[in-house]
Chains A and B, each alone.
Chain A
Amino acid sequence: MQELLNYQNLLLQGAWLTVQVALLSLLLAITLGLLGALAKISHSPVLRFIATSYTTIIRGIPDLILMLLIFFGGQILINKLCYSLNETINEYFTGYDANHEWYAYLPDYIDISPYVAGIMTIGFIFGAYMAETFRGAILSVEKGQIEAATAYGMSKSKIFFRVTFPQMMRHALPGIGNNWLVLLKTTALVSIIGLQDIVKIAGDASGSTQQPFTFYLAVAFVFLFFTAISSAFLKRLETKYSISTR
């Protein structure tokens, strides 16, 4: 117990980082989910194809593999791409002027931080799940409402933000809530790509104190605490949004 108190500040910092990663990924996931849902119900076959491939592929790959692929593989891919682009530009200039000196027009080496990679991966994954949730929610908005809005001469984006969006949220909330609870637990994976989140800190602490069980159990309880708060909050939100329909 004393060991836990000694590491109190570090653990709290880790917990805060976990919350940050979770919230920022949620923001990205909701944005991607909305775009994906709109693409799925659009009339353009190209957009529909892109959105469907996105949601299908994401559902087939484990989150951990995708995270490792983006963090380690993505880094190499971007750097190789930058390098070959630099080569092409330089060769082009050398063609004009034989004395042209090699210069890195694009940065030679881009370092993807685990923080950005983690948020991007989790946001990208849950964007696919959110797209399914939002698609169902948009389709459950009455057609008459949209027709009425069109009859009022509202533009397409105005219809979406003033009519569709506020009404679909009621149907989307339970789905968003479930996705959020899964997302929260997925953030534990960012410790594997080296982010100092609560799991990583507990791992370091258990190494130096020889008390791994105490620390990992504490981490599990922190996650249980987050889930409990989220569930209570979501319940309140759902009651609030269903008031007008009761």
Chain B
Amino acid sequence: MDFSIIITEYQFYLTGLWTTTWLVALSLFLGLCIAIPAGILRSSDHKIIRLPIWAFMYFFRGSPLLVQLFLIYYGTAQFEWLRESWLWEYFQEAWFCALLAFTLNTGAYTAEIVRGVIAAMPKGELEAAKAYGMSKWKTLRRITLPNSLRRALPVYSNEVIFMIHGSAVAGIVTIVDITGAARVVNARYYAPFEAYFSAAILYMCLTFSVIYLFKRWERRYQVEQ
């Protein structure tokens, strides 16, 4: 065991930590932007709206993230028209493909959470707010949002952790995230145990900080009992 190489090559891990953080944070944010409309429209009365959203959610929730990433990163090269268009500038970049795959993946999972929260919204509370003469905006801010967040946050925190763990596959398509950093260090020194063990510790710190933050956030919406 020689962990001194990790200390000499610490910049790799720092870059990796930063890449993982922004990649996950950005895909979570963009995924949420997809998920909220998708989750609402999922229970739409029109088949033309409902079916494509169902298909999107079914596809991205039912197949592995690794395959989705490969489909976007390697798969898009198959299309001549795409390679000749301006879009190719983005699709040939590993970070863009990873961001797209992660966004669509977490978007589909989060849409399911949004759908569940909406379906379980207690109608009586909304009616009571209306009876009190609250405006629509006030109802949303005071009743709907706190109520939904209370139920959605524990599930969503699981999704965030799932995304942090899932993002490790970015290291496979040449991105230097934490996994990528470990792969580079392993390739240079042939020290797989030290390289991957350090990556595991970094991921663990990231995961547990996120769990801690979510626990604090959840406490804000807890009902006094």
User: A residues touching B (Cβ–Cβ < 8 Å)?
Assistant: 57, 59-66, 68-69, 72-77, 185-189, 191-192, 199, 203, 206, 210-214, 216-217, 219-221, 223-224, 227-228
Contact = CB atoms under 8 A, between A and B. Distances in A.
A213 B79 contact: yes
A65 B182 contact: yes
A42 to B, nearest CB: 25
B62 A224 contact: yes
A188 B64 contact: yes
B70 interface: yes
A60 B207 contact: yes
Nearest to B74: A212
Contact of A185 (B63, B75, B182, B186): B63
A210 B77 CA distance: 9
A68 B204 CA distance: 16
Contacts of B165: 61-64
Contacts of A59: 161, 207
B57 to A, nearest CB: 12
Interface of B: 58-59, 62-68, 70-71, 74-79, 161, 164-169, 171-172, 178-179, 182, 186, 192-197, 199-200, 203-204, 207-208
Contacts of A224: 58-59, 62-63
Contacts of A203: 70, 74
B84 to A, nearest CB: 16
B75 A212 contact: yes
Contacts of B64: 185-189, 199, 220, 223
A60 B208 contact: yes
A69 B196 CA distance: 5
Nearest to B75: A213
Contacts of A68: 179, 182, 192, 196
B162 to A, nearest CB: 9
Contacts of B194: 73
Given A68-B196, A188-B66, A216-B70, A210 B78 contact: yes
Nearest to B194: A73
B67 A188 contact: yes
16 contacts: A60-B207, A62-B167, A64-B169, A65-B168, A65-B178, A68-B179, A69-B193, A73-B192, A73-B196, A76-B193, A189-B64, A212-B71, A220-B64, A224-B59, A224-B62, A227-B63
A224 B71 CA distance: 15
A127 B38 CA distance: 33
B70 to A, nearest CB: 5
Given A64-B165, A206-B74, 4 more contacts: A60-B207, A62-B166, A69-B196, A73-B195
B192 A213 contact: no
A73 B75 contact: no
Nearest to A60: B204
Contacts of B65: 185
Contacts of B171: 64
Contact of B62 (A69, A74, A188, A223): A223
A118 to B, nearest CB: 13
B196 A213 contact: no
Contacts of A199: 64, 66-67, 70
A63 B207 CA distance: 13
A240 to B, nearest CB: 24
Q: Top 3 closest A-B pairs, CB basis?
A: A73-B193, A72-B192, A213-B75
Nearest to B166: A62
B196 A65 contact: yes
A138 B149 CA distance: 30
B132 to A, nearest CB: 39
